[in-house]
Amino acid sequence: LELIAHSSATVNCSAVPMSVAFVNVSASLSTSSFRLIVNESSRTRSAVVKVNARERQTVFSFRGSELFRPIRSSTSVSFQTEPTSFCVRGDAADTEPQEQFDTKAFTRALKQSEKYNRKGFGHKEEVAEMMQSEYTSSLVQEIKENNFVYTKGDITIKLAQSFGYCWGVERAVAMAYETRKHFPTEKLWITNEIIHNPLVNEQLKDMGVNYVPVNGADKDFTGIGSGDVVILPAFGASVQEMQLLNDKGCRIVDTTCPWVSKVWNSVEKHKRSNYTSIIHGKYAHEETVATASFAGTYLIVLNLDEAEYVADYILNGGNKEEFLSKFKKAMSAGFDPDRDLVRVGIANQTTMLKGETEEMGKLFERTMMRKYGPDQLNEHFMSFNTICDATQERQDAMLSLVEDTMDVMLVIGGYNSSNTTHLQEIAVLRKIPSYHIDRPERIHMDGSIEHQPLFAKTLEVTPTWLQPGPVTIGVTSGASTPDIVIQEVLERVFQYRTLSQPSPAPA
């Protein structure tokens, strides 16, 4: 990074570390203007920055993506020139960035690279056989063929009619297997869990696949070198991560679900038309982090309560500082609710509750219509259908399942799986005792069950979850759960029931 004053004095600093996307730089100079020149990966960007003539100071902003990598907030660097010395300090920006990085152009160029692959490597049949042997279930197939009902002893299982692996997840796992097959000796990485299922992720570790380490809230990419093969998971990866891996000379295998890519296209359209993207999702979820990186100005709302808060601010105004504090981790740098909520577009994390996303869309449509009038709606509101078909099918099947009479519900899937959590939420709303478990070992032979309650972050143990006598158990699983896990859970239930039955009296 070079800062060149008009007096032709040159100062250099080392590469700026990585983290957030924007930086403010303030400088005290003896000159009236200077040029900022950024050299990175054989590409150069520059801008003339005017200095306040009276104070000889300026504050200017630039995007980390203009450096082809993010910038860490609160980076401080000292410079020395002759005859003037000054200090440059970077902090998270409070002002709107002056130029948007063209994420569309970058990803288009990336996909044309010889080091990028999203179609596999020609080992589909062999990989399909491996996955068939490891993840399919004869018991689950039998239940499906018996109209999704199965009885053993005094236990009746009612299985949701849409459950488990979706096409996008199955595709991602198959591509990961193909990648290992195609690159048997190369160092192989995944930027996040390939999917939210512990069995699958542990299997990939056993195959020699490395997961990018995380230090605190930041990923550590320093161990990845040129020529390494890096898999982007089904949830996708942020554009900054893609840039970094591309700059490192990695081979990139992109397993991003096409439904996630569809959401990225939607926020790109918002950005091109100067709409703020309101994203229904969890701000720390990998998919939402990736989606936000493709957006321009954005605000992430978790649920309908937060959406109503935002809608009320649009209509009536409010306490700006309170708003910024409430969404401080869930908005783009420099977000201003008075400026950035005039034109809004709706997008979502694909695994959120379908009904809630639809209700949010209608809420903001009504809000903009009330504020600006029906004839101006299209100038202030934009919406595309980005609800994932697989998520919708599993939620619809769960809604149908809870209409039946049952004593208890088992929801099977990773604890960090958003779509699995929302399936459990449907059962809880119907007041059906439900237990979210990620593996069969959570069912203990002493009659207890270790599970994660809805919205909790720790596990609980319920001493007695299965009552004596005839019992009906509803069962569903998240989109990252293979059928074999369902079979192993049911076998564990049947095993406990057999062990808990009193021994017959001697003749």
Catalytic residues: 287
DSSP helix/strand/coil, 345: strand
DSSP helix/strand/coil, 370: helix
Pairing of strands 344-348, 43-50: unpaired
Closest CA relative to residue 345, chosen from 291, 410, 422, 419? 291
Q: Tell me, what amino acid is at 238?
A: S
Closest CA relative to residue 401, chosen from 428, 427, 429, 434? 427
What's the residue count for the chain?
Answer: 507
Q: How many helices (H) and strands (E) does the chain have?
A: 16, 26
Task: Return the exposure string of 463-478: e unless at least 16 CB atoms fall within 10 Å of the residue's CB, then b.
Answer: eebbeeeebbbbbbbb
Q: What are phi and psi of 502, to 5 degrees?
A: -65, 145
Q: What is the distance between the alpha carbons of residues 290 and 288, in angstroms, rounded to a whole number? A: 5
Pairing of strands 57-63, 155-159: unpaired
Closest CA relative to residue 467, chosen from 438, 486, 493? 493
CB 253 within 8 A of CB 231: yes
The per-residue DSSP string of 405-434 comes to --SEEEEES-TT-HHHHHHHHHHHHTT--E
User: How far, in Å, are 130, 309, 370 from residue 312 at the CA level?
Assistant: 53, 5, 11
Closest CA relative to residue 477, chosen from 468, 466, 490, 467? 490
